[in-house]
Amino acid sequence: MRKSENHSIVLSGMRPTGALHLGHYTGALENWVALQDVYTNYHLIADYHALTTNTDTSRIFENTIEMVIDWLAAGIDPARSPIFRQSQVKQHTELFLIFSMLVTKNRLERNPTLKEQVRDLGIESENLAYGHLGYPVLQASDILLYRAHAVPVGEDQLANIEITREIARRFNREYGEVFPEPKALLTEFKRLPGLDGIDRKMSKSLGNTILLSDTPETIAAKLRKAVTDPLKVRRNDPGRPDVCLVFTYHRRFNAGEIDEIRAGCTSGALGCVECKQRCAARIADALAPHREHRVPYEKDRSLVLDILAEGEKKARRRAATTMRAVHRAMRLGGRIGKTSVS
Ligand code: TRP
């Protein structure tokens, strides 16, 4: 399909949390890579958003580079899909300021995503930062600055996207049609459990991850410690694959042998040690191309900086066009003898 400026635009974003794990891959990245073939994609590194829950910026640069290496290795093509940092495109903050006038404090306090985060992090409401309350307003500026039509997100982000849609409608009603109302492209629910059990999702803060950059040895060592069916104590005990974490990984990464693994586990012929070794080997195989694609960027990180510089240039261009339309619609600026800038 041919792409043009008027073709649908997708904006994807992630906070720079460092090296990515398998859960990021199955939940988001895989989807982003596929979307590039159909849409014009902008890939945002939400480094300002990272400050809302952690103001320590000592590792933000390294975390950004690590994350971008994983994006590139996974197949994000910077020639087609600009990659850029929010902090390097100043229009995000301009639009954020304007949008902050178009949403009430009450609306932001009712946001379920915020409520959940505040509860999980144990933040007292009087200690909630002003910028943290405004998280979805900044996210709205990320999306609408590129006049995106769609945003690939997981279920946890739907409430934030709803606020973006409300802000777009409010702006368009008040000042004239500038923004499309973006749709959430809900990523098919492919939650990957972490190494500590079948009902906990893989997450950096839980320390239960397999990184996309892990070596086969590291993967094997991590798998060795993974939780399995608690009722399968000895090698020959019959196991229950459907409650076993390792079996969920076999399903995803070893589909070809899945019947044999199930039969072996259930009959007791296959012990957990061997089952885990085989699983680790398949995961390592699946990640081999990824590890290989990381190499040139690991050797020369300035390649990543060049890609960011290029992406930031493209992002600024589109952002500037949007801000001209915003200022014109709002009658901000202007010259003598004219009622609006042109
Ligand atoms: N809030 C998103 C998250 O925590 C990250 C993000 C920031 C984002 N800006 C965005 C996602 C814009 C999509 C679009 O995962």
Any idea what the CATH number is for the domain that residue 273 is in? Answer: 1.10.240.10
Q: Does residue 137's CB lie within 6 angstroms of at least one atom of ligand 1?
A: no
| Residues β-bridged to residue 51 | none
Residues forming a β-bridge with 201: 193
Query: Which residue has a Cα nearest atom 9 of ligand 1?
Result: 139
The sign of the dihedral angle between the CA atoms of 223, 227, 229, 235 is positive
Q: In terms of Cα–Cα distance, which of 236, 224, 311, 235 is closest to 276? A: 224
Strands 83-85 and 40-45: parallel
What end-to-end distance do the CA atoms of the chain give, in Å?
A: 34
Mutate to test the pocket of ligand 1, among 14, 149, 167 (most ligand atoms within 8 A of CB): 14
Specify whether the CB–CB gap between 55 and 24 falls below 8 A: no
Same structural domain, 86 and 157: yes
The number of the ligand 1 atom at minimal distance from the alpha carbon of 46 is: 7
Helices (H) and strands (E) in the chain, counts: 15, 5
Residue 16 CA to ligand 1 centre (angstroms)? 10
Residue with tokens 């990021």: 24
CA–centroid distance, 145 to ligand 1, in Å, is 14
Residues 35 and 111 placed together within one structural domain of the fold: yes
Distance 46 CA to ligand 1 centre (A): 7
The answer to whether position 3 is within a domain reads no
Q: How far apart are CA 40 and CA 58, in angstroms?
A: 33
What is the Rg, in whole angstroms, of the alpha carbon atoms belonging to the chain? 23
160 plus 124 within the same structural domain: yes
Regions of the chain where pLDDT drops below 50: 1-5, 342
Sign of the torsion angle spanned by Cα atoms 42, 159, 122, 29: negative
Host H or E run for residue 136: helix 135-144
Residue 339: inside a domain, yes or no?
A: no
* 291 and 313 inside one domain: no
At 105, give phi and psi (nearest 5°): -60, -40
85 lines ligand 1 (CB under 6 A): no
For residue 310, the CA-to-ligand 1 centroid distance in Å is 21
Residues 182 and 246 in one domain: no
Q: Report if residue 342 sits inside a domain.
A: no
Contact 319, 145 (CB under 8 A): yes
Q: Whose CA is nearest to atom 3 of ligand 1?
A: 14
The per-residue pLDDT for 340 is 52
- The reply to whether 273 falls in a domain is yes
Closest of 138, 143, 154 to residue 97, by C-alpha: 138
- Claim to verify: residue 151 and residue 238 sit in the same structural domain: no
CATH number where 311 lies? 3.40.50.620
| Count of Cβ atoms closer than 10 Å to residue 305 Cβ | 12
> Are 132 and 240 members of one domain?
no
Residue-wise pLDDT tens digits, 220-232: 999 999 989 988 8
pTM of this prediction exceeds 0.85: yes
Same domain for 118 and 21, yes or no, is yes
Instruction: Give the residue whose CA is nearest to atom 2 of ligand 1.
Output: 14
- For residue 222, the model assigns a pLDDT of 97
Which atom in ligand 1 lies closest to the alpha carbon of residue 86? 9
**Ligand 1 centroid to residue 4 C-alpha, Å:** 25
For residue 338, is it within any domain? no
Please indicate, yes or no, if residue 49 is contained in any of the structural domains.
Answer: yes
| CA 283/CA 149 separation, integer angstroms | 35
Q: Are 266 and 241 in contact (CB under 8 A)?
A: yes
Q: Is the CB of 153 under 6 A from ligand 1?
A: yes
Residue 238 lies in a domain: yes
46 lines ligand 1 (CB under 6 A): yes
169 and 76: one domain?
yes
Q: Provide the CA 160 distance to its chain's centre, in angstroms.
A: 14
Please provide residue 23's backbone torsions phi and psi, each rounded to the nearest 5 degrees. -65, -40
Q: In this structure, are 147 and 232 located in the same domain?
A: no
Task: Count the domains in the chain.
Answer: 2
Using CB atoms within 10 Å of the CB of residue 326, give its burial: 0 to 12 exposed, 13 to 18 middle, 19+ buried.
Answer: buried
For the record, the structure tokens of 82 come out as: 């600009």
Tokens 């007292």 identify what position?
124
Q: Give residue 90's domain range.
A: 9-192+300-330
* Residue 195 near ligand 1, beta carbon < 6 Å: no
Specify if 2 maps to a domain: no
15 lines ligand 1 (CB under 6 A): yes
Distance, CA of 220 to CA of 234 (rounded, Å): 20
Residues 36 and 151 grouped into a single domain: yes
Clarify whether residues 273 and 304 are in a common domain: no
